[in-house]
Amino acid sequence: MTRVHIQRLALGLALTMAMHAALAATPINETRPLDPRGRIEIENVKGSVEVKAWDRPEVRIEGTLGQGVERLEVEGDREHLNVRVKYPNRNGIGLFGSSDKSEPTDLRLMVPIRADLDIDVVSADVNVEGVASGELSVESVSGDVVVAAAPREADFDSVSGDLHLTINSNRVSAETVSGDLTLRGRMDGEVDVETVSGRIDVGVLQSRLHRLTGSSVSGDIRVQTALANNGNISLETVSGDLVLALPRDLSAKVRGESFSGDLRAPGAEIIRPKHGPGSSFDHTYGRGDGDVTIQSFSGDATLQLD
């Protein structure tokens, strides 16, 4: 092969790669009006979704469509918008079929600060920052979710992706299967956290919770918080270890129970039956206003007073 042929081949290859890159990065630049307290739903299968808040009564959508994606659908009105990445359905095989070879799509949105937000993704990462929605909901299969927001109510659901949440809210519900769950913020209402094999780490340091429920199968649970007057905390694990850290001025009746794990609680008498496994304790701290229960099957359960 001559030098001229090699140069022509290299030039052709470079042009092909450039065309492929252009197709794989179709730009998105759209704006739609939305009421400051309207609702926006976002759907994307793979890639990323990034949402930030501003004080304008409109939604700006930017980013890039992956190669092979059919289009970006933006439907609705000022009250309710739906932003959806439409993927191909070839030979009757859906989004999860092997025939879908489309590339990831990255979405970046600016939304009204108080607009309700509902995000549904599969393997896309999600990042939400600065919104103060009435309702915030994120559902993911394998993508990681990072949120720093102040919604009135928040719901998060993930299968194998991690949840990293910094939330100021009255009510938070977060659930994973195998992903880790980290929750921080000011929460003075109700918190519900659940996992199968992931790790749960909750830190509510500047407020007092009225109700906290948490459970895991094999994942560890660590919670650091304070309890409101007449508040309730209930935590349970199967084989994971459990640590609950509460202030020294705790006023609550605390009960602990384990089948084969170790129980620890300051000042509490751990009762073990003479015959058979198991241990338990029942102890009152302060006036006993609140109610706290920690339970495990084979994991250790510990109450700390910091």
Cα 132 to Cα 112, 150, 255, 264, 267, distances in angstroms: 9, 5, 37, 40, 42
pLDDT at 1: 52
Structure tokens at 206: 């500047």
User: Helix or strand or coil: residue 20?
Assistant: helix
Residue-wise pLDDT for 12-58, tens only, equals 544 444 444 444 568 999 999 999 999 999 999 999 999 999 999 99
pLDDT at 93: 38
Residue 229, pLDDT above cutoff 80:
yes
Residue-wise pLDDT for 183-226, tens only, equals 999 998 999 999 999 999 999 988 899 999 999 999 999 999 99
Residue-wise pLDDT for 239-297, tens only, equals 999 999 999 999 999 999 999 999 999 999 999 988 778 999 999 999 999 999 999 99
pLDDT at 205: 80
Strand partners, 264: 302
Structure tokens at 51: 């949402």
Residue 91, pLDDT above cutoff 50:
no
Q: Write phi, then psi, for 182 (nearest 5 degrees).
A: -120, 125
pLDDT at 25: 65
Cα 289 to Cα 210, 229, 232, 292, distances in angstroms: 12, 6, 10, 10
pTM of the model: 0.87
Q: How far apart are CA 306 and CA 293, in angstroms?
A: 18
Residue 64, pLDDT above cutoff 80:
yes
Are 98 and 54 in contact by the 8 Å Cβ rule? The answer is no
